[in-house]
Structure 1
Amino acid sequence: MLLWINGPFGGGKTQTAYEIRRRLPGSVVCDPEHAGFGLRRMLPPELRGNFQDLVSWRQGVVEVLDLALTRHDGVVIAPMTVTDSRYFAETVGRLRELGHDVRHFTLLAERETVVERLRERGLGHLLPHLAGRRSGRNAGPRRESWALQQLDHCLERLREEEFAEHLWTDQSTVPKTADRIAVLAGLTLRPNTEGRLRTRLRQARVGVAHIRFD
């Protein structure tokens, strides 16, 4: 089974994926973003854009996830934002055509909730971009700036029916969101026995490990 966890940047995709992995024996996280940034780094800086526009990324994601799903005995988890209908069909849709059991979930939250989560991640210096303020310099990592500029588009597109199952997370913690996904997918997670402090420290480590600067 593949759990594809969709949602806007700041929606909790990666944290939820690693929470499920932590509590589901035999599961693995296969992050399609790794392939994307690898392809992006191969290009001259002036040619680097949205790696999802590369056919090689879409085909490569399908090939790698197909291999993982075929050869790995446990659940495979892929946290990745996809808002383009064509790209969705060429990745999630194609894996289903290959006969894989793909469970797709989109994590949603109100705009204010996502902005607050980004602020808590230490990206507060980038938030003026969300309000449309102009600056003479592009502050902060370009990847985060681009993602913030795409926030409204992501929230609007991902509410469409084609990106169901929708899970609203405004009032939910990461462990509770993981529990909801498990129930909907017919999976059983280990009980969450962590205390609040340990959970925050572990989630901070996951967040730092997935910071990108290019």
Structure 2
Amino acid sequence: MLVWVNGPFGVGKTQTAWELRRRVAGSVLCDPELVGFGLHRAMPPWLREDFQDLRSWRSGVVEVLDLVLRRHEGLVVAPMTLVEPAYFEEIVGGLRALGHDVRHFALLAQRETIVGRLAERGLGHAFARVAGRSVALRRETFALSKLDLCLERLREPGFRQHVWTDELPLREVVELIAASIGVELSPDTDSPLRARVRRAAVGVRHIRVLTGK
């Protein structure tokens, strides 16, 4: 089974996906964004536009996830913002046409909620400026520029199942998804402090991916 965790930039897709991977035994995380980063690195900077518009990205994501789903017996989790209906059908619909059980969840929240989360994330990423890496900060600006489009598109019926996260902590979002797909979660024994540290570590890991470090 593939769980595709969709949602606007900043809503909490990456944290949700990593927490699912942590608490579902035998699960793996496959990030479609990495396919796009690889394509960008093969191109001169002035040609690096939205990699989702590249047919090679869309076909590559289908090929990679198809391979993992055929060879891995456990749950596969893919966090990725995908709001273009045609691209969604090409990738998610394509995987389903290949016979895979794909469960899609669009994490949503009110605009002001996501803006607040982006602001908190931006403050947490401020060290990137000190290290000479402004990628994380630019990403927050990009996320805000795409927020309204993402919220408008992902509210559409074709992007169900919708999960409104305004009042839900991460643990409850993960529990809701697990219950919906019928998988068992391992007990969550993290203290509040340990949970914060774990989320921070995931954020730092994501910055390292973005900067290529």
Q: Same fold (TM over 0.5)?
A: yes
Query: 1:10 and 1:194 mapped to 2: Cα distance?
Result: 23
The DSSP-based 3-state class of the residue aligned with 2:25 is coil
Q: CA RMSD in A?
A: 1.9
Q: What is residue 190 of structure 2 aligned with on the other side?
A: 194
2:200 to 195, 204, 208: 204
Contact 2:83 2:150 in 1 (8 A): yes
Q: Percent identity?
A: 61
Q: What is residue 131 of structure 1 aligned with on the other side?
A: none
CA deviations 1:150-181 (Å, max 9, x no partner) are 01110111000000000000011111100000
Contact 2:27 2:74 in 1 (8 A): yes
Instruction: Structure 2: state its 5+ residue gaps.
Output: 127-133
The DSSP-based 3-state class of the residue aligned with 2:18 is helix
Query: 2:73 and 2:161 mapped to 1: Cα distance?
Result: 25
Q: What is residue 71 of structure 1 aligned with on the other side?
A: 71
- What TM-score, normalized to structure 2? 0.90
CA deviations 1:72-109 (Å, max 9, x no partner) are 01000000000001100111110000000000000000
Map 1:154-165; keep pairs closer than 5 Å: 154-165=150-161
Instruction: Structure 1: state its 5+ residue gaps.
Output: 127-137
Question: 1:146: Cα distance to partner?
Answer: 2.0
Question: 1:142: Cα distance to partner?
Answer: 3.5
- What TM-score, normalized to structure 1? 0.90
Map 1:121-160; keep pairs closer than 5 Å: 121-123=121-123, 141-160=137-156
Structure 1 runs of 4+ with >3 Å offset: 123-126, 138-144
Query: 1:48 and 1:170 mapped to 2: Cα distance?
Result: 34
Would you say how many aligned residue pairs link Structure 1 and Structure 2? 203
Query: 1:145 and 1:151 mapped to 2: Cα distance?
Result: 10
Question: 1:123: Cα distance to partner?
Answer: 4.8
Question: 1:193: Cα distance to partner?
Answer: 1.6
Q: What is residue 12 of structure 1 aligned with on the other side?
A: 12
